[in-house]
Amino acid sequence: MGVGVAGLQAIATARRLGAQVSATDVRSATKEQIESLGAKAIFVEDVKGIEGEGAGGYATEMSDEYKAAQAALVSSHIAKQDIVITTALIPGRPAPRLISDAQIATMKPGSVIVDLAVEAGGNVEGAVAGQVVEKHGVKIVGHKNVPSRLASDASALFSRNLFNFLSAFWDKDAGKPVLDEEIGNAIRLTQGGKVVNERLLG
């Protein structure tokens, strides 16, 4: 639930391990990404004018109509799942609540929910930051700072992503990456000794 970087990685890993995977997100643009990884895309239908696409690839706050439709969608699917991974975050806001206690109660005993948004308030009712708790026979994993638990892999992933990003914009003559204004402004944190990123200033 939530198909950003972490969600896509979870889909790809689960598929490689042979799992049947379904995924959902409020951003319609992710449907193609989900299906390209061999997972089933599950989306709220017939709620017009809501794309959920915010700045930097994050979601935006959704309407009450959409939230109700999403809750119904989750309820119809979650009871069938053995493992649920939630990754939904909205910059500057508490993490949206995606799974209620009543929905957890419909899952099979022994199922597992991993709440990767637990440090921002959690996507799952009852998730506790830094703990693994059990509700209705379902384990809710609320580890803090998950990348630190896989430090070597996280470092390799970050460095590979950084290398690929810089390589795409590398100018051999200039001996440095040359970014256009839109991309440069989106990723630049500091310039000339000052913080310039709007999200950090806000």
pLDDT of 102-126, one tens digit each?
999 999 999 999 999 999 999 999 9
User: From start to end of the chain, where are the E strands?
Assistant: 22-23, 40-41, 83-86, 112-115, 132-135, 138-141, 170-171, 176-177, 190-191, 194-195
Of the spans 55-59, 65-69, 87-91, which averages the highest pLDDT? Answer: 87-91
> What's at 145, amino acid-wise?
N
Of 17-26, 41-50, 145-154, 159-168, least confident by mean pLDDT is 41-50
CA angle 49, 29, 145 (to 5 degrees): 110
pTM confidence score: 0.74
CB 26 within 8 A of CB 66: yes
Residue 8 to residue 30: CA distance in whole angstroms: 9
Whole-angstrom Cα distance, residue 65 to residue 78?
A: 20
- State mean pLDDT over 56-70: 68
Q: How confident is the model at residue 47 (pLDDT cuts 50, 70, 90)?
A: low
pLDDT(141) > 90: yes
Average pLDDT for the chain: 88
Q: Does residue 185 have a pLDDT over 50?
A: yes
